[in-house]
């Protein structure tokens, strides 16, 4: 039994949820989103919340049960609070700046990296060494953060590069004489 899947997703006030077949549509103050769930799970509106149940007792259905419930919960959280990921830039001369609808990052290459900001994502640069990515879709926020981090991943010797704010970089010892 899925411990997460058993719980219904509560719909807060100011948010409307609509279930049509396998499609769950959620509309809130920050926008609207929808997700199409797999056929191995059934979804229904019950007691002011969205309830997800497996259609059968197969391993696949039970595996998708908790995942589907979490996807619906992420929709509700996204349209109410939104999601945020922070990146930190470490290294001499490494910095970021917003340039219109692009993020310009100097990472020690012969050229600056220009990253076009996708629709539905907001990027703020409070300091030249910090990047804050916000949006209502958790998957897209994480994907954008991963793409920006991939331009220069943190290296293990000096820790230079772009890392998540809560990420720990395992440091290696340098050469010995």
- CATH code, 3-80: 3.90.930.12
- CATH code, 83-164: 3.90.930.12
| pLDDT at res. 121 | 94
Q: pLDDT class for 2, splitting at 50, 70, 90? A: low
Residues 167 and 93: their CA atoms lie apart, in Å, by 21
Q: pLDDT class for 90, splitting at 50, 70, 90? A: very high
Residues 10 and 29: their CA atoms lie apart, in Å, by 16
Q: Where are the alpha helices (DSSP H) in 26-154?
A: 59-80, 138-150
| pLDDT at res. 71 | 93
* CB 120, CB 137: distance < 8 Å: yes
Q: pLDDT class for 1, splitting at 50, 70, 90? A: low
Total-model pTM = 0.88
Q: What is the tens place of the pLDDT at every residue in 116-146?
A: 999 999 999 999 999 999 999 999 999 999 9
Mean pLDDT of the chain: 92
| pLDDT at res. 46 | 85
Specify the domain boundaries for CATH 3.90.930.12 within the chain: 3-80, 83-164
Q: Kindly report the backbone phi and psi dihedral angles of residue 69, in degrees, each rounded to the nearest multiple of 5, phi listed first.
A: -65, -40
* CB 93, CB 128: distance < 8 Å: no
């Amino acid at each position: 039994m899925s411990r997460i899947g058993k719980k219904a997703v509560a719909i807060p006030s100011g948010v409307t949820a609509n279930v049509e077949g396998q499609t769950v549509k959620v509309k809130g103050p920050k926008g609207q989103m929808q997700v199409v769930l797999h056929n191995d799970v059934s979804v229904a509106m019950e007691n002011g919340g969205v309830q997800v149940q497996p259609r059968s007792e197969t391993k696949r259905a039970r595996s998708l049960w908790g995942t589907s419930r979490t996807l619906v919960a992420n929709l509700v959280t996204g349209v109410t609070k939104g999601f945020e990921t922070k990146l930190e830039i470490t290294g001499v001369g490494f910095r970021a700046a917003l340039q219109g609808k692009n993020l310009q990052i100097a990472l020690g290459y012969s050229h600056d990296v220009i990253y076009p900001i996708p629709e539905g994502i907001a990027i703020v640069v409070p300091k030249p060494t910090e990047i804050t990515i916000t949006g209502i879709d958790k998957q897209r926020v994480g994907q954008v953060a991963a793409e920006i981090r991939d331009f220069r991943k943190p290296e293990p010797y000096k820790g230079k590069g772009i890392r998540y704010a809560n990420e720990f970089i395992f440091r290696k010892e340098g050469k010995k004489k």
